């Protein structure tokens, strides 16, 4: 599901841009969303990678509970918190119809959390409309990178806060 760019962008960005001393904050606020149409299984596979510290910060502010995305003991409770946030900040339309993102789970990768979703019963896909405003409430400099892959054809865009909508046609 992950493209070559998705696989190398975060390790490179995290190692180059995030090399920091204790207490410093990273200089770039970016998340990457990838949407890939799996024609064989008729599903959209969606992943969002977000810096863990930024994600935990917004989840703490909005939920007023203990947030720890890295502690396996908290994983069951965190599933709901993570899903609720992403569902409010990432919306998709497939060929003009709003679709329901089904939460698959999340995991830690490098200095980020990757959330996984899927949308069932998508046999063909000509147009994808994405609304993405993840972390916009607290990070005015937030950047959203979005990749959409349909029939092996990848299209990408970048949204700068407050831009939140992108359309991909195949």
Q: What is the 3-state secondary structure (H, E, C) of 92-139?
A: EEECCEECCCEEEEEEEECCEEEEEEEEECCCCCCEEEEEECCCCCCC
Q: Residue 25 — pLDDT band, cuts 50, 70, 90?
A: low
Residue 163 has pLDDT above 70, yes or no: yes
Residue 8 has pLDDT above 50, yes or no: no
Q: Residue 46 — pLDDT band, cuts 50, 70, 90?
A: very high
Q: Which residues contact 44 (CB under 8 A, 6 or more apart)?
A: 35, 36, 37, 38, 92, 94, 99, 118, 119, 122, 125
> Which stretches within the chain are classed as H helix?
4-17, 52-63, 75-89
Q: Residue 5 — pLDDT band, cuts 50, 70, 90?
A: very low
Average pLDDT, the chain: 88
- Per the CB < 8 A criterion, the answer to whether 47 and 34 are in contact is yes
Tens-digit pLDDT profile for residues 78-111? 999 999 999 999 999 999 999 999 999 999 999 9
Q: What is the pLDDT of residue 85?
A: 98
């Amino acid at each position: 599901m992950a493209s070559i760019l998705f696989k190398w962008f975060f390790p490179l960005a995290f190692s180059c841009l995030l090399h920091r001393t204790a207490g410093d904050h990273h200089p770039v606020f970016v998340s990457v969303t990838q949407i890939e149409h799996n024609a064989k299984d008729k599903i959209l596979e969606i992943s969002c990678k977000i810096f863990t510290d930024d994600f935990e910060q917004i989840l703490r502010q909005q939920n007023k509970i203990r947030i720890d995305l890295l502690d396996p003991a908290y994983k069951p409770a965190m599933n709901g918190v993570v899903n609720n946030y992403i569902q409010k900040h990432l919306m998709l339309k497939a060929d003009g119809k709003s679709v329901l993102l089904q939460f698959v789970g999340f995991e830690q990768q490098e200095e980020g959390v990757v959330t996984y979703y899927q949308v069932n019963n998508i046999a063909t896909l000509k147009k994808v409309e994405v609304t993405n405003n993840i972390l916009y409430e607290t990070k005015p400099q937030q950047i959203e990178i979005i990749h959409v892959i349909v029939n092996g054809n990848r299209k990408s865009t970048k949204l700068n806060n407050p831009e939140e909508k992108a359309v991909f046609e195949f």
